[in-house]
């Protein structure tokens, strides 16, 4: 699905209400999350800014995966393997590429891929469909950069 909306910077850690689930566009923090694999959910404000930098995030909801009788550990292993095998990005010096893997307990489906203004939802991880989505949206925004961001863990702790 494709969406259009202004990209406003708001104060870090301010409350956000993304217009899509998964978050794919809109107001975000001035700091983006480093690209990589996370074990904790990312704040939408950091995630959205990473997407604005032409990243693609692969998000999952363990509760929904396990409700289907599948192993979340196995699911994360699939996503991590996809991350590890994705080709390097010549614009990146501190990271191999601009992919993010992270849990998102707020997802209404077991899996979603999200890019700036676009998202793909699924009941499972379809590697071919996700590769097509990444190829269609990775590196395609007006901020096609791969600079290190911040480690978002704990930055907006309550």
* Contact residues for 95 (Cβ-Cβ < 8 A; gap 6+): 34, 35, 36, 89, 146, 148
Taking the CA atoms of residue 154, residue 91, residue 26 and residue 17 in that order, the dihedral angle to the nearest 10 degrees is -20
Distance CA 76, CA 48 (A): 21
Q: Which two tokens stand for residue 45?
A: 């404000």
Average pLDDT of span 89-117? 96
Which ranges constitute the DSSP H helices of the chain?
Answer: 44-52, 62-67, 72-85, 127-137
Distance CA 118, CA 24 (A): 6
Domains of the chain: 36-137 (3.40.30)
Average pLDDT of span 39-62? 96
Q: Which tens digit of pLDDT belongs to each residue from 125-155?
A: 999 999 999 999 999 999 999 999 999 988 9
**Bridge-based pairing state of the strands 111-115 and 56-60:** antiparallel
User: Which of 4 and 45 is assigned the larger pLDDT?
Assistant: 45
Average pLDDT of span 90-107? 96
């Amino acid at each position: 699905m494709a969406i259009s909306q202004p990209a406003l910077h708001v104060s870090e850690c301010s409350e956000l209400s993304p217009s899509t689930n998964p978050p794919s566009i809109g107001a975000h923090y001035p700091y983006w999350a480093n690209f990589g694999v996370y074990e904790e959910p990312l704040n939408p404000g950091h995630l959205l800014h990473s997407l604005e930098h032409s990243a693609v995030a692969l998000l999952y909801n363990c509760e929904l995966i396990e409700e289907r009788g599948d192993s979340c550990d196995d699911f994360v292993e699939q996503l991590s393997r996809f991350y590890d095998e994705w080709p390097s990005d010549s614009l990146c010096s501190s990271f191999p590429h601009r992919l993010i893997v992270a849990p998102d307990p707020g997802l209404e489906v077991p899996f979603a891929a999200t890019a700036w203004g676009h998202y793909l939802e699924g009941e499972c991880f379809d590697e071919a469909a996700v590769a097509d989505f990444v190829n269609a949206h990775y590196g395609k925004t007006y901020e096609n950069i791969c600079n290190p961001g911040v480690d978002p863990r704990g930055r907006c702790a309550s």
